[in-house]
Amino acid sequence: MKRDFLHVTDFTADEIHATFALAKEVKTRFKRREDFKPFKDHSMAMIFAKPSARTRISFETGFFRMGGHALYLGPSDISIGKREAVKDIARVVARYNDVIMARLFAHEHVLELAEYASVPVVNGLTDYNHPCQIMADMFTILEHRGHLEDLKVVYVGDGNNIVHSWLRMAQRLPFHFVCACPDDYDPDAQTIAATRQAGLSEIEISHDPKAAVKGADIVYTDVWASMGQKDEAETRKARFQGFQVNDELMAATGKKSLFMHCLPAERGVETTDSVLESDASIVFDEAENRMHAQNAILLKICGKA
């Protein structure tokens, strides 16, 4: 049976911990410039229906450094679901490549891609979730704190794809997760219910950012209008007033909290220059770790680790 990585919950807790350990090992090997080529003579197709900096660069560079070749297929190359059916592309691309990474709009499309492709498929973001991001984020938190005990992560902003992956992480590892968002921008109700049902983590949905951040180890934010919603940017800006992560909100934690953002950030909107450039900000460690965490995920699902 081939393995896909489409949701954080596709891995067990043990597999998530093992992925972090492997990411640490691969990161050290990369820093030492060791000869490490497990993907020699392998190719990875990267299908992008949306723009990307980090996802494209980290997957392409990571796979190349592990000995493989990565192909970038942009929005106009494949036009998945428009020029050709998802299930046809799945079978065609799998005939040429050892693994597929896809960033798509509809989550159903990545599920269909995985169903029909005979090779492993990795989700590089859909409208529903962004599992590689949250694997990298938790790995970054582990690096900075040295452990994941007594962890409170407070996400402030839109209840979007990033939040859904945080919630799924909370179904596997125990921590206290709070999503503070305007009440009409709550995350997906089914995902919240499934996370509560898992009974592992404390989950709160708050509409009061100041109260929510109290005692936070991590304050996390993301853009208020995601890819595919940019025409709603102005309406959202008005609705999200009070949800900006600025110095005042960081001070309201009452703690030496760390600041995280998946990036790209809209400076002056969901957060400020001052917070992004502060000592609390670990956004660039977070961005770097996308590559190390994903390398570990690829090694695991491709049966190389």
The residues carrying an active-site annotation are 262
Whichever of 137 and 222 has its CB closer to ligand NVA, that residue is 222
- 106 is a contact residue toward ligand NVA (CB under 6 A): no
- 263 is a contact residue toward ligand CP (CB under 6 A): yes
- 287 is a contact residue toward ligand NVA (CB under 6 A): no
In the set 123, 161, 171, 281, which binds ligand NVA (CB under 6 A)? Answer: 161
In the set 80, 153, 223, 265, which binds ligand NVA (CB under 6 A)? Answer: 223
- 226 is a contact residue toward ligand NVA (CB under 6 A): yes
Closest approach, Cβ 28 to ligand NVA, in A, equals: 27
- 222 is a contact residue toward ligand NVA (CB under 6 A): yes
Find the part of the chain contacting ligand NVA (CB under 6 A) among 9-17, 189-197, 218-226, 242-250. Answer: 218-226
User: Of ligand CP, ligand NVA, none, which one does residue 223 interact with (CB within 5 to 8 Å by kind)?
Assistant: ligand NVA
Whichever of 125 and 170 has its CB closer to ligand CP, that residue is 125
DSSP for the chain, written as a single string: ----BSSGGGS-HHHHHHHHHHHHHHHHHHHTT----TTTT-EEEEEESS--SHHHHHHHHHHHHTT-EEEEE-HHHH-BTTTB-HHHHHHHHHHH-SEEEEE-S-HHHHHHHHHH-SS-EEE---SS--HHHHHHHHHHHHHHHSS-TT-EEEEES---HHHHHHHHHHTTS--EEEEE--GGGPPPHHHHHHHHHHTSSEEEEES-HHHHTTT-SEEEE--SS-TT-GGGHHHHHHHTTT--B-HHHHHTT-S--EEEE-S---BTTTB-HHHHTSTTB-HHHHHHHHHHHHHHHHHHHTT--
- 165 is a contact residue toward ligand CP (CB under 6 A): no
